[in-house]
Structure 1
């Protein structure tokens, strides 16, 4: 009886361990370690992230080892978001320059012990008119870039440039740098050319699966963690999964949610909690990680927004997010920013947010790749 019980427990343990594995069975040691650490932190902590944090900020650009977050707290964010946007739709020289700048940013982040996530606002490969949908010029392109589509070869070329970047992105230890890759985000909206209004469910899933398979299996990219993140236009697990490509094709389940957190003066924290609980529950049942992949309040006019709104939601029982990322601080616009800088109205509250043991910033991370 004891032997049988031991075997059953062992099998359950192995199943649980298997559920924690990345969809890339050949993922690098550092990438596997990061994934397991993110899963371990979720629930007891949340990592704070900021888009383009070290590339530029409110009124500055390109300063070494600077971020607005660090200027307020003394630490960079734990997670820094970047974008593959500059890899297409520009001159050859501009693309090369963008790639080199991004390589430097990602390398610096890894060498400091921080974590990188990269989204992809990429130029419409058919109408060549940017990443936002334009009713007068844009052409529905997802069907065209899927296998067998008219622009599939062009799409493969774009993915090859991303794979080349992934292979070049190495830390000072020589290891390939793990990257959370988040393509086709907010796909349930109608503002991007890959939005729900302009592509079928079947075509979206076909492109997603090809993207992962081509990068992972053909181009041998083994340092990516794949994040799936619609906008917040769902109210049930069934809604959330409407375009889900399957658990063999996703590592992180996320959501971008500005609408419930104060955008245009609208606050619906119960709705935000409800949606985050859907993510948390699904992640737990399916061995995934959940994250609030984008949120924030532009200009942060609410002086206590960080603790009374964001942290309050993230600490709610049943909400288990590995990280939260707020959007960028524009270098020129006086009003387009989502993290405070010295003197900003919410800076004091943000410092309390930083000091809370529940939140983790870059200085708090201990060997995330081991």
Structure 2
């Protein structure tokens, strides 16, 4: 009897450890070794650090386009951002030749980043697949596409074709080592707002969850994409865990939890306590459920506050006991004199950004070591 009880106890402990181990990795059980390593290393570094990221950092910057191995952040600090954001917006809704050109360009950015040891996050400003209007919702022309492209919808086959195109691209994006490049894939971001066609007013909760689950399932299970980490990122319209999780598709479908928050960070005035509390909600849920957490988009356009990096961003990120693996600020437009979110040489926030760069909490590309092993 004693031996039987002991056996049951051992089996019970082993089972609980197995469940815990399963929850500590990506939702794709067949994820590549490099993708699993990235996931594990991001979780580990988040205990004491966060990686700084910048959208389109090496593709273009303030007053330049396409210069090899250049970024505004590197021009200021000597290192590229640790996370580089790219976008799949040009992968559909355009002539085939333009799509292929875009795929080639984005692939080069992704591969170059991986070869240097940086991290890639992939946004998807997805053009409306059933109407004109692009990715924004336009009252006069946009159709609520989600209900049309989910299983059972009349444009479901069109959506599958778009996903096949993304899958073929992902499955043919390999680094110099011959390995598939891991990417943090962040579809349907800011879904709690009204500005995108997949936004909250344009689809039901059930439709959105169906869209998310089908997208992950089709890429992962049908198309064999095993180098994606799936990121869930509403805007900042929540104040409780329940509100944050209103359209959450479930722990089996999400690897990384984040939010996009410009409003609390200076765009609509400074509400730093609220920004911090919202990030804490995300971090706490992620830690409890074996997920990654990140500040997936933020920034202050034109950086009119020269001390924004230390007095706003670092203060919000580093307060409390958050574990956030990265923070990403938005892009520096090549032509606009005012649309930029990271400093460039000569900008008046450079001294503060250098302090941010030198802070032990922040990591940039040259700090990462081998994040894929």
Q: Deviations over 1:107-151 (max 9, x none)?
A: 000000000000100110111220000011111110000011011
- For structure 2, the 5+ residue unaligned runs are none
2:139 is the alignment partner of 1:135: yes
Contact 1:89 1:128 (C-alpha < 8 Å) held by counterparts: no
Match for residue 163 of structure 1 among 167, 171, 181 = 167
Name the residue aligned to 2:369: 366
Name the residue aligned to 1:326: 329
> What secondary structure is seen at the aligned counterpart in 2 of 1:99?
helix
2:25 is the alignment partner of 1:41: no
Name the residue aligned to 2:289: 286
Name the residue aligned to 2:342: 339
TM-aligned CA deviation for residue 183 of structure 1: 0.3
Distance across 2 between alignment mates of 1:52 and 1:200:
32
Q: Which moved more, 1:276-285 or 1:5-14?
A: 5-14
Contact 1:186 1:229 (C-alpha < 8 Å) held by counterparts: yes
TM-score by length of 2: 0.96
Name the residue aligned to 2:300: 297
Name the residue aligned to 2:355: 352
TM-aligned CA deviation for residue 3 of structure 1: 9.4
Distance across 2 between alignment mates of 1:306 and 1:365:
21
TM-aligned CA deviation for residue 94 of structure 1: 1.1
Q: Deviations over 1:150-202 (max 9, x none)?
A: 11111011101100110111000000000000000000000000000000000
TM-aligned CA deviation for residue 19 of structure 1: 1.6
2:113 is the alignment partner of 1:109: yes
TM-aligned CA deviation for residue 366 of structure 1: 1.1
Name the residue aligned to 2:274: 271
Cα pair distance change 1:93/1:17, threshold 3 Å? same
Match for residue 19 of structure 1 among 23, 28, 53 = 23
> What secondary structure is seen at the aligned counterpart in 2 of 1:98?
helix
Match for residue 83 of structure 1 among 87, 93, 96 = 87
Distance across 2 between alignment mates of 1:50 and 1:129:
27
Match for residue 185 of structure 1 among 177, 182, 189 = 189
TM-aligned CA deviation for residue 16 of structure 1: 3.0
Distance across 2 between alignment mates of 1:276 and 1:98:
34
Name the residue aligned to 1:228: 232
Contact 1:79 1:116 (C-alpha < 8 Å) held by counterparts: yes
- For structure 1, the 5+ residue unaligned runs are none
Match for residue 264 of structure 2 among 260, 263, 266 = 260
Contact 1:292 1:325 (C-alpha < 8 Å) held by counterparts: yes
TM-aligned CA deviation for residue 367 of structure 1: 0.6
Q: Deviations over 1:206-254 (max 9, x none)?
A: 0100000000000000000000000000000000010000000000011
Distance across 2 between alignment mates of 1:217 and 1:42:
29
Q: Deviations over 1:41-75 (max 9, x none)?
A: 11300000000000000000000000000000000
Aligned length: 369
Distance across 2 between alignment mates of 1:210 and 1:46:
31
Name the residue aligned to 2:221: 217
TM-score by length of 1: 0.97
Distance across 2 between alignment mates of 1:161 and 1:58:
31
TM-aligned CA deviation for residue 6 of structure 1: 7.6
2:309 is the alignment partner of 1:306: yes
